[in-house]
Structure 1
Amino acid sequence: MNENNNTRRSFLRHLGVFTAGISLGPAFLTACNNAGKTPGSDSAASGADSSQHAGLPKDLFFQISLAEWSFHQALFAKKMDHLDFAIRAKKEFDIHAVEYVNQFFKDKAKDKNYLGEMKKRCDDNGVKSVLIMCDGEGELGDKDVKARMKAVENHYKWVEAAQFLGCHSIRVNAAGQGTAEEVAKNAADGLGKLTDFAKDFNIGVIVENHGGYSSNGKWLSDVMKTVNRPGCGTLPDFGNFCINRTKPEAQTPEAWAKTTCLEEYDKYQGVQELMPFAKGVSAKTYDFDDAGNSVQVDYARMLKIVKEAGYTGHIGIEYEGSKLSEDEGIKKTRDLLRKVGAQLA
């Protein structure tokens, strides 16, 4: 199947921007999974009155969040301000939980005034900050020990920012150079060190299948077993299982979108392998048929895997298609999650 997947990951990697037990307190573990709320109510993610959302399915086993990358075109084009993300999620899409991308406030990780404004806008609008997706901070699986430790330390500021904003985790990458065995060993070391640091902030460190070795579900699940810390988990993405793809004609998002996947790991097997460690889930979409179903992913099959794993936390919408506008793609993904979630109740 020819999919325009891994656009963000591959494009950022080639620009030099992307990189591919100890117990935590109950606050983190609860926030990652059931969050102590009634499954199915988006408003529950923020503590808002669910009666405001009459007519929405109340029996979903998960909560819905919105990943900021869904707006990447508008944000890169400066047609949207990062500070407006949470407000738009709530007012335009009736989604009450958000997942940030660090690229869109890269120089603000230590700016408490800016972070305070982000937090205020969430608090004022009943929006929950779920996690921060972190790229461009070095490879946690770097073969060079000093470079690997520098990458670990580069993530410290995002751990602190995540705590300030009320997130439960930061999303990182298990990337590096070398054989699968070498990168696995080095990534486990880097992830373990970062997780130990984040533990004191009650913040989890979660890894997405994000291209290369990490898009092999067996490889990444084995890394999780090696790290062996409750605070380190996964963020299974329904669409990011391309292990190898063609080279783009240019280093632009449009050119990367036209590349073809040469080797793809079975997405359903991959999600099943990653779910035992999941602290988040990413609902990737590209195209939809006339009935509103995803063309690339069988959502009924995928959400059944998620449900059978006992997961009841947030599933984040991440629309990466090009045929629909970002707004329409977000709405169709939201509606698909609600429809299939209700069918599985």
Structure 2
Amino acid sequence: MNRRTFLQHGSRVLAAMPLYSLAKTAVQSIPAAALNRIGITTVCFRERFPATRSKGATAPPDGDLTLLTAPKFIADQLGLHNVEIWSAQFADMSLDYCRQIKSAAAAAGSRIIDIQVDGSENLSDPDASKRAASIVTIKQWMDRAAAVGAPRMRANTGGGPAAAWDVNRTADSFRQLAEYGKTIDVKILIENHVGYSADIDKVVQLAKAVNDPNCRVISDWGNTPSTSAADRLAGLSKLFPYLELVSAKELDFDDQNHHVSYDIVPLIKATEASGFRGIYSIEFYSNRPPRDVVAAAKDMAQTIAANISRA
């Protein structure tokens, strides 16, 4: 399930609701240089946000999160200070609210590294007027990214019939966004995610066509159709030349809170071997999430730290 499907249809009632650790200790054994390269998205804590909680689910006993309280929660529970935030969890669209998010992150010694934007916009729409309207909306989100202090923002390509895909049309949209981003110091990112961009080859085509250093790519480990480790790595490696951020996603977990979908270590090692020295942003998204999100994130942070360069 992708995030757009969640928004449109609501997630299924999970067989086992996530149980969030109440531990207050941070990940203290990870060197600071490694921690600087690890982050987490608020998508992981969607059951704590009323707007993204599973239909019929109850609030956690220790209270909800907001984008104003999430940075401190993440810093206290995980010792992580790179926070990625999800558009679906914004309580207010004003720039003043965005500046409050920036201040809340700073108060926790943290920073917002990216906004993951999901909505009805279609930057690939054949109708020029509809496409232009989508560009306007995404620019407004880029303004919010600037206000929260995020140097980058993910936008979806939109979609349509396979035969209607026109890389040049979509590239024109992203080229306009890249140019706008230069005026506010925000990069626009393409992710292997939904719509046309669910196809990694289309993401590569698009990045090549835009050909602008202010338009880069997010590699999402979980969003591939691969059924083997080799195929997954081969697909994701196509994104390496354009890589700005890694969505370090784990999918299905067993009852012991262990990730069972694929081994992330080869993905980390290959990404590092490509020369990438950016941030790995932890994400969990599937119908079988970890029972304890904080514990799973701590485990994942340790695995990432053990396999990345600290230079």
- For Structure 1 versus Structure 2, the TM-score category normalised by the shorter chain is 0.7 to 0.9
Q: 1:60 to 1:116 in 2, by over 3 A?
A: closer
Instruction: Say whether the 8 Å CA contact 1:64–1:95 is kept in structure 2.
Output: yes
Superposed CA offset, 1:3-27 (max 9, x none)? xxx3323333568xxxxxxxxxxxx
Query: Is residue 2:279 matched to residue 1:319?
Result: no
Pick from 67, 70, 76 the counterpart of residue 91 of structure 1: 76
The CA distance in 1 between the partners of 2:4 and 2:210, in whole Å, is 23
Instruction: Say whether the 8 Å CA contact 1:134–1:172 is kept in structure 2.
Output: yes
Q: 1:336 to 1:187 in 2, by over 3 A?
A: same
1:300 counterpart residue number: 265
SS of aligned partner of 1:83: coil
SS of aligned partner of 2:205: helix
Q: 1:287 to 1:11 in 2, by over 3 A?
A: closer
SS of aligned partner of 2:101: helix
The TM-score normalised by the length of structure 2 is 0.80
Q: 1:288 to 1:53 in 2, by over 3 A?
A: closer
More divergent stretch after superposition (68-77 vs 276-285)? 68-77
Residue 292 of structure 1 and its aligned partner are, at CA, apart by 7.2
1:82 counterpart residue number: 67
1:169 counterpart residue number: 152
Q: Map 1:1-345; keep pairs closer than 5 Å.
A: 6-12=1-7, 55-57=29-31, 60=34, 63-75=37-49, 76-77=52-53, 79-105=64-90, 107-108=92-93, 110-112=94-96, 114-179=97-162, 182-242=165-225, 266-288=231-253, 294-323=259-288, 328-343=292-307
SS of aligned partner of 2:90: helix
Residue 212 of structure 1 and its aligned partner are, at CA, apart by 4.0
Superposed CA offset, 1:88-145 (max 9, x none)? 110111111101111111642x331x22321221111100110111111511111111
Q: 1:13 to 1:311 in 2, by over 3 A?
A: farther
Percentage of matched positions with identical amino acids:
25
SS of aligned partner of 1:141: coil
The letter of the residue matching 1:134 is: V
More divergent stretch after superposition (287-296 vs 219-228)? 287-296
Q: Which runs of 5+ in 1 are unaligned?
A: 1-5, 16-51, 244-260
The letter of the residue matching 2:68 is: L
1:257 counterpart residue number: none
Superposed CA offset, 1:125-174 (max 9, x none)? 10011011111151111111111111011011221121122111110111
RMSD: 2.9
Q: 1:340 to 1:316 in 2, by over 3 A?
A: closer
More divergent stretch after superposition (148-157 vs 172-181)? 172-181
Q: 1:219 to 1:194 in 2, by over 3 A?
A: same
The CA distance in 1 between the partners of 2:275 and 2:255, in whole Å, is 31
Residue 272 of structure 1 and its aligned partner are, at CA, apart by 0.4
The CA distance in 2 between the partners of 1:53 and 1:324, in whole Å, is 21
Superposed CA offset, 1:162-190 (max 9, x none)? 11221111101112223356342321111
Q: 1:123 to 1:60 in 2, by over 3 A?
A: closer
The CA distance in 1 between the partners of 2:211 and 2:35, in whole Å, is 27
Total equivalences in the alignment: 282
Instruction: Say whether the 8 Å CA contact 1:177–1:183 is kept in structure 2.
Output: no
SS of aligned partner of 1:316: strand
The letter of the residue matching 1:277 is: Y
The CA distance in 1 between the partners of 2:168 and 2:161, in whole Å, is 10
Q: 1:176 to 1:290 in 2, by over 3 A?
A: closer
SS of aligned partner of 2:174: helix
Instruction: Say whether the 8 Å CA contact 1:168–1:204 is kept in structure 2.
Output: yes
Instruction: Say whether the 8 Å CA contact 1:141–1:189 is kept in structure 2.
Output: no
